[in-house]
Structure 1
């Protein structure tokens, strides 16, 4: 596991869009090495909190801080619906983008980079689709591709926005098992989720958003994978 004395801190954080707050004065902390779920009704700011943490949108006020972790050490798994699925690019090219934080985008992939991409494709079970255009993928295949990119990036902190939304049951179980394995290796994972049963069964920490407030809870779980 990671160093649980280090943390992600939320300091009187107010989040929202265009200066309109959706959640007020969030204060709390997430231990590095934990497996955390952000839960709550639609529209309470779950995805907004995640995007603020990784720097995609600015906070209205307050701040977040990472102990001993550079912002480059954060990997981001967006919702499938936020990706242009008609962009002319293939699966291998998308997954190889996970190499970019460690090098210039204008540098060619090294042999090791390509091996890492092939390894990630194998982990998510889509090796045979590596040259397939992304507009030909099913929803489950598309999510597997995005998760493979996350594996290639191999960041210490991984933020996931609804990783199980709109995918088949086999893909859900595959991704859940990969998430649990990443957690066992010491990765810090924060994910927006809707399946409360899954959260209570597998996630060590819960951030509940409701009525503009955030409650940080610890959850005693006995993680078992199928």
Structure 2
């Protein structure tokens, strides 16, 4: 049997290491036997069919989901230094909060629940709101925002976290083209600063244009590396077969919790 492909970056020191990692729910694996590393400073897209385990992997990295088997190692970064932007559908937009206060939550780890906003912090909040094109909307309730405006506010909050590792789960779903363009430019800026950005995406044309590295998942690693090579027709077809239960290792065994998993 050929060796499984590994999550490995060619350059840079690793910021993440996966050791025989299996993640899932109720002991049923959603993504299994991942092995390898992600280099610091990577701009990495994670793609795959529905149910491939893409969002599950991000939850494992943040510690929201405990491994069923194996482990995730964070190297030179702590979990509190991870900025994690979840899918828009996970937010209750009816919560009574205005844009300024929503964005200010990006400072929560820095100042705590009861910390005050001094002048310097208020200036940082204003700068983040301006950078995402939301100046003038600071007092607008988040429930009154369009999808694109709400995602801009999410990105402003991520900006304030000033995190070395940024995880984005479907950051451009159901938003307007102008917001996609502006927020993609911000992602490029983060990458230029040396931050590690890992994005779950479904628009393969966008991935080709913006992401030099891609991980193709179908509950297991199908391919990893240069985007143009990974997103070949053969690899995409294989990923679909596996996701539909018609391909290699389609029926992974149920794993039991590893007491030593991190």
What TM-score comes out, normalization by structure 2 length? 0.80
CA RMSD of aligned residues (A): 1.4
- Which residue matches 2:156? 148
Query: What does 1:72-151 align with in structure 2 at a 5 Å threshold?
Result: 72-151=80-159
Summarize the Cα distance change of 1:220–1:166 in structure 2 as closer, same or farther, 3 Å threshold: closer
- The secondary structure found in structure 2 opposite 1:44 is coil
Summarize the Cα distance change of 1:6–1:23 in structure 2 as closer, same or farther, 3 Å threshold: closer
> Alignment partner for residue 65 of structure 2, among 51, 57, 77?
57
Cα distance in 2 between the residues matched to 1:205 and 1:8 = 15
User: Contact 1:28/1:216 (CA < 8 Å) preserved in 2?
Assistant: no
- What's the CA shift for 1:77? 0.6
- Which residue matches 1:219? 226
- What's the CA shift for 1:7? 2.6
Cα distance in 2 between the residues matched to 1:17 and 1:127 = 41
- Which residue matches 1:203? 211
- What's the CA shift for 1:218? 2.3
- The secondary structure found in structure 1 opposite 2:149 is helix
> How many correspondences in the alignment?
218
Structure 1: 5+ residue stretches without partners: 222-226
- What's the CA shift for 1:17? 1.6
- What's the CA shift for 1:47? 0.5
Q: Which has the larger radius of gyration?
A: 2
Kindly report structure 1 stretches of 4+ aligned residues shifted beyond 4 Å. Answer: none
- What's the CA shift for 1:6? 3.1
Structure 2: 5+ residue stretches without partners: 1-10, 229-262
Q: Residues 173-211 of structure 1: CA distance to partner in whole angstroms, max 9, x if unpaired? A: 00100000110010100010001121122212211111x
What TM-score comes out, normalization by structure 1 length? 0.92
> Alignment partner for residue 47 of structure 1, among 51, 55, 58?
55
- The secondary structure found in structure 1 opposite 2:126 is helix
- Which residue matches 1:224? none
